[in-house]
Amino acid sequence: MAINKNGTGYTFGFAIVMVVVVGAALAVTAMSLKPLQQANAADKKMMDILGAIKVDSQRDNAKALFAEYVTSRVAINASGTQVSVKQGDVNATDATDPFNIDIKKDYRSHKPAKGDLAWGNADDLNFPVFECQKEGETYYVVPMVGSGLWGPIWGYVAMEGDMQTIYGAKFDHKTETPGLGAEIKEDFFTVKFEGKTLEEVGPTYFSVLKGGAVTNEHSVDGITGGTITSKGVDEMLNRTMGIYLKYFNNEQRAQR
């Protein structure tokens, strides 16, 4: 019996078999490559954290340098209380390791309402802080994530030991406009944050201003043509710092 190649039954059968075969092949590929990809992502994260404290690293030495500079990894909750602390080697499979807190995922699932700088619905989240030692000084690296014009933006800001002064910053983005919003990852922008301080009372601790405005020690000039991305950086900084400053204040009280 000849099969009618253009019959509806054959077409459906072909489509179903094709989808199953292709689906299985892709699933096998994705699962077998996942460990390598995760290791790459972890290396990149270490490079970014080291970048915030101005330590240059490559993929092959990121792990060693991270172990050398980052003394402890702390997780805090939304009210600024320390929940857990880890030292020593990063364990990629340990979900309680603050290094493995996926703040991008948390941000997606707990997206704050527009303009909600207090991040009212973040109560059940944990936030990582990376305590670093470099040339005898202590630095606190704070990861942050927010929204730009087209997609997510994120960054790492290093605070000095006084927990008020910004030591270094590193920003990155997924799909911001090249030449405009995408410039937030360039050094000329991040270098402006260095040495600036946070205001002690919120909700606006720091501002990224529009269009050549006069800046003071609590603000930097935004990117021309990248207003919405600059605003995204501004909002991300304030929202995240609102939470971390509670922790920093607790720490300082404890040190006194």
Partner 1 sequence: MSTDTNTAVETKRESLFSKKNRKLLKDPLDDSNPITVQVLGICSALAITVQLQQAVIMSLSVLFVMIGGNVIISLLRNLVPDRIRIIVQLVVVASLVIIVDQVLKAFQPDISEKLSVFVGLIITNCIIMGRLEAFALGNKPGPSLLDAIGNAMGYAWILLVVSIVREIFGSGAISLPGMGQVKFLPSSWFISEGGFYENNNLMILPPMALITVGLIIWIQRSRNQALIEEN
Whether the bond between 178 and the residue before it is cis, its omega within 30 degrees of 0, is no
What string marks each residue from 11 to 50 as x (binds partner 1 by CB under 8 A) or -? Answer: x--xx--xx--x--xx--xx--x--xx--x--xx------
Residue 33 or 92 having the CB closest to partner 1: 33
Q: Is 67 in the site for partner 1 (CB under 8 A)?
A: no
Q: Is 133 exposed, middle or buried (0-12, 13-18, 19+ CB in 10 A)?
A: middle
Tell the smallest beta-carbon distance from residue 59 to partner 1 (Å).
7
**Can you tell me the distance from the alpha carbon of 62 to that of 168, in angstroms, rounded to the nearest whole number?**
18
Site for partner 1 in 95-114 (CB under 8 A): none
Tell the smallest beta-carbon distance from residue 51 to partner 1 (Å).
14
Number of residues counted as binding partner 1 (CB under 8 A): 21
Residue 116: count other Cβ atoms within 10 Å of its Cβ: 14
C-alpha of 83 from chain center = 20
Residue 245 · residue 159 · CB < 8 Å: no
Q: Is 254 in the site for partner 1 (CB under 8 A)?
A: no
Report the candidate in 235, 238, 213 with the shortest Cα–Cα distance to residue 224: 213
Using DSSP bridges, classify how beta strands 219-221 and 207-209 pair: parallel, antiparallel or unpaired: parallel
Tell the smallest beta-carbon distance from residue 237 to partner 1 (Å).
24
Q: Is 92 in the site for partner 1 (CB under 8 A)?
A: no
Residue 40 or 249 having the CB closest to partner 1: 40
Stretch that binds partner 1, among 2-10, 193-201, 213-221, 230-238 (CB under 8 A): 2-10
**Element housing 234 (H / E):** helix 227-255
**Which residues are near partner 1 by CB under 8 A?**
5-6, 10-11, 14-15, 18-19, 22, 25-26, 29-30, 33, 36-37, 40, 43-44, 59, 175
